[in-house]
Amino acid sequence: MDYHPQKIDQKLLRAVVRANPPAKPSEIRDTAAGLLVRHETTGRASLFAIISRTKRKKLADVRAILDETTKVTLRQCQVEARKLQGKEAAGELEPTGKDQIPTLGEFLTGKGEGRAFSEAVRPIEAARLCSVFSGLVSRRLDEIVPLDLARWTKAKIAAGTKAGTLVRDARMLHSALARAVEWKVISANPLAGQIKRRAGKFRLADIVLEPLEDRVRYLTVDEEPRLRAALAERDDYIPTAVLVSMFTGLRQGELFALTWADIDFNAKTITVRPRNAKSGKVRHVPMNAEVIKLLSVRRGNDPEALVFTYMGHAIVSPKTAWRTLTRAAKIDGFRWHDLRHTFASRLAMAGVDLYVIKELMGHSSITVTEKYAHLQPHRHHEAVAKL
């Protein structure tokens, strides 16, 4: 989150509305007036009253204030902010009444009053939580209980969801609720102690899951010609996206968030911005000759334009296109994410150091990269031969 102290007036509000959406949520504070403008990555801007160090209240959308047809004015917001601060100083405001506790959906997306989980993570992750826990988004945070996690887990198991996916999503929800506790939105995390691991198995709300599958599936030498033949039959974005993914190891979300400003043909690198990286850190990935050639053909003039689009729109998920492609190539059990595994596996088999693979993949820890160590057993023989 970026913070900027500045006087909030009509001119500033107009500038915020005209500005491009920020890379991460940005806040402009006018402590003298007791106001705060929050500019989201979606482009949405809201005006808040600063009640205290830990309290704020949404007053209006910035666009509504600038719209002369509405009855909301900046002056009214300034007066309301002063009233709220006065009530807080006099002890007339409840610390956090139940009517002030947001629903899960409001907290995840920032559509309610107060801070939002989308400030701390990539917006796509907050959106995924809303989708995965759609049955809970209308519930207040203090109304969520361990039984909700148990029911969700049972329903997902019945639907065939893999244990690894269940654990990942449950941990993300736990993280969101922990952030709500940190920000004093709620007093305690309702899922505290509900995600456990014992004897290699996870338990979600006392429901034991199957052992996690440490899956490393990569494209074989027999499958690649079939995949390339199927790609040659298409005239959309898929051929370039698939091959760029396979030769850079970019995650699907990182790939489809790329803009032309992220492609440096001179330095032969692709930059993954922190807002799009799973680790939240910038990463520079080298391009080989094939990737440079593929992207040069599509090269755009607008640096802020997305590299990959479908019918002029951002790509959310290529599931249907991917399913059609793998069927045409007669490749079974191969996910889009396995293109990333293919990149890392081939580097490992070529003898590339695991630490270098870790950096290229953007792994947070070398332990994640060690799943590819079995692909280079010759390194052990080479090490002993040096004695």
Task: Choose, from 29, 56, 156, 251, the residue flagged as catalytic.
Answer: 251
State yes or no: is 337 an active-site residue: yes
State yes or no: is 115 an active-site residue: no
Domain ranges for the chain, please list them: 2-93, 104-208, 223-385
Assigned superfamily of 223-385: Intergrase catalytic core (1.10.443.10)
State yes or no: is 284 an active-site residue: no
Task: Choose, from 38, 174, 218, 372, the residue flagged as catalytic.
Answer: 372
Model pLDDT, residue 113: 60
Going residue by residue through the chain, which has 387 residues, state the pLDDT in tens, using 9 for 90 and above: 455 678 899 999 999 888 888 777 788 888 788 898 888 877 788 888 888 766 778 888 888 888 887 778 898 889 988 888 888 888 776 654 445 788 898 888 876 666 677 666 666 678 888 899 999 988 889 889 999 999 999 999 988 888 888 988 999 999 889 988 888 888 889 998 898 887 667 888 888 887 766 668 899 999 999 999 999 999 999 999 999 999 999 999 899 999 999 999 999 999 999 888 877 789 999 999 999 999 999 898 888 899 999 888 888 789 899 999 999 999 998 999 999 999 999 999 999 999 999 999 999 889 888 888 888 877 777 777 777
Model pLDDT, residue 259: 93
Task: Choose, from 154, 196, 228, 337, the residue flagged as catalytic.
Answer: 337
Task: Choose, from 55, 122, 340, 341, the residue flagged as catalytic.
Answer: 340
Residue type at 7 in one-letter notation: K
Q: Which of 43, 25, 82, 42 is nearest to 59 (CA)?
A: 82
State yes or no: is 310 an active-site residue: no
State yes or no: is 111 an active-site residue: no
State yes or no: is 278 an active-site residue: yes
Model pLDDT, residue 114: 62
How is domain 2-93 classified at the architecture level of CATH?
2-Layer Sandwich (3.30)
Task: Choose, from 278, 298, 346, 371, the residue flagged as catalytic.
Answer: 278
Q: Which two tokens stand for residue 372?
A: 């590819």
Class of domain 104-208 (CATH, top level):
mainly alpha
